[in-house]
Amino acid sequence: MSLLSSILIGLVMGMVFGIALEKSRVFEAGMIVGQMQLRNFTMLKVFLTAVATGAVVLAAMHGLGLIKLAPKATFYTADVVGGLILGAGIALAGACPGTVLAQIGVGYRDALFTLVGGLAGAMAFSYLEPTLRPMLLTGGPGKLTFVELTGISYEVLALGFAAVLVVALVALERWRPWKSDLGTDVDGDFGPTEQAAGARGAHLKAAE
């Protein structure tokens, strides 16, 4: 695949990704912070559905011998510490590294600061990488997956995992219908009723 065609494919795929992010509202800060405060479950639904779908299509393509999987190497400390820092950043950004761009696309100004901060953070890590590598990013069990840990084939394990996720999603949807998490407007603010009620209360009090 040439560089130019890779870029064109990336643009088209990104546009599909961006449309899905905007239509589902999952790129909204309200949805991300709401998920992390366990008061909105849109993010978990999109995320787990994407994982389940990915597992099914990867199992099919891998089973047909069309692709080679590329799991990331395991470095326990880096995965734990990096994951914790990443999560803290996601909560304060109200975005993930990919969804920041969707926020910029719809005109959120703070997302530009998140992006610039992200570029700075990525470069800060890059400058430290030669120092961190011998401490955190060497050794370890390598590209470990649950296929090696269980001895079950990737196809069976991936389809089983997808089935478990579907059951979990059905349960989640019964407990929390997706429409109730959307909010009244398009801006991902799912809490206005509560706030409006509070404001009305304050107004009444002031009038008394």
Partner 1 sequence: MNACSLRQKAWSPYVAGVLIGLLQIPAFLLISTALGASSSYVTVGGYLAAVVDPAVSQIDYVGKHMALTGKNWWQVALVVGIALGAFLSMKLSGASRKPVSPIWSRALGTPSPVVRYAVAFLAGFIMLFGARLADGCTSGHGISGMAQLAVSSTIAVAFMFVGGIATAVLVLRRI
- Interface with partner 1 in residues 160-199 (CB under 8 A): 161, 169, 178, 182, 186-189, 191, 195
Q: How far apart are CA 16 and CA 24, in angstroms?
A: 12
Whether the CB-CB separation of 109 and 29 falls below 8 Å is answered with no
Please, which residue, 124 or 203, has the CB nearer to partner 1? 124
The residue length of the chain stands at: 208
> Is 18 near partner 1 (CB under 8 A)?
yes
Q: How far is the CB of 148 from partner 1 (least distance, A)?
A: 9
Q: How far is the CB of 208 from partner 1 (least distance, A)?
A: 26
Integer Cα distance of 145 and 185 in angstroms? 42
Contact partners, residue 28, CB within 8 Å, separation at least 6: 94, 103, 187, 188, 189
Q: Name the minimum Å distance from CB 201 to partner 1.
A: 16
In this structure, what are the phi and psi dihedrals at residue 99, rounded to the nearest 5 degrees?
Answer: -75, -15
CA 1, CA 29: separation in Å to the nearest integer?
36
23-52: contacts with partner 1 (CB under 8 A): 23-30, 33-39, 42, 45-52
Encoded amino acid at 142, one letter = G
Q: How many residues bind partner 1, per CB under 8 A?
A: 137
| Residue of 74, 138, 180, 193 interacting with partner 1 (CB under 8 A) | 74
If one asks whether residue 63 binds partner 1 (CB under 8 A), the answer comes out as: no
Taking the least distance from each CB to partner 1, the nearer of 5 and 208 is: 5
Residues 79, 15 contacting (CB under 8 angstroms) = no
Range 129-158, binding partner 1 (CB under 8 A): 129-130, 132, 136-137, 141, 143-147, 149, 154, 157-158
* Per CB under 8 A, 64 contacts partner 1: no
Do 94 and 32 meet the contact criterion of CB atoms below 8 Å apart? yes
Q: Which of residues 99-128 bind partner 1 (CB under 8 A)?
A: 99-111, 113-127
